[in-house]
Structure 1
Amino acid sequence: MERNVWRTSSRSGSNGQCVEVRDRGTAIDVRDSKAPTAGTLSFGPASWDAFVSSIKTDHRRP
């Protein structure tokens, strides 16, 4: 992932309900694409990896 560039998931639909993510190297930031100036959540790299892994695991459950 290129650093300091906001990205929207390729799985996001066109309904406008998306989050954007950027990798700053030392942290991963997440914001609401509809309200980009409303603030961000920041995760350390290890926390972000754990979060993404848990989503992938939960998504595979029946």
Structure 2
Amino acid sequence: MFWIVSDPERRHQGLGRRLTVALCQAGLEAGAETAYLQAEADNEPAINLYASLGFRDVYQYWYRQQAW
């Protein structure tokens, strides 16, 4: 899952949780055995949500950008 974004005025209503659960359920029904997602390291609300759904850190990575 990439780039799940919610309107700030619609946050804290369970929309992200419902969407994540629905996407995982659709994956299971399609035969997926694992789910993979990414979250920014400083996005505590997202990390807490995903942890509450059973996701865990597997590894970290960094994007390298060329300085102009």
TM-score (norm 2): 0.27
The structure richer in strand per residue is 1
Determine which structure has greater relative contact order: mean sequence separation of CA pairs < 8 Å that are 6+ residues apart, divided by chain length.
2
TM-score (norm 1): 0.30
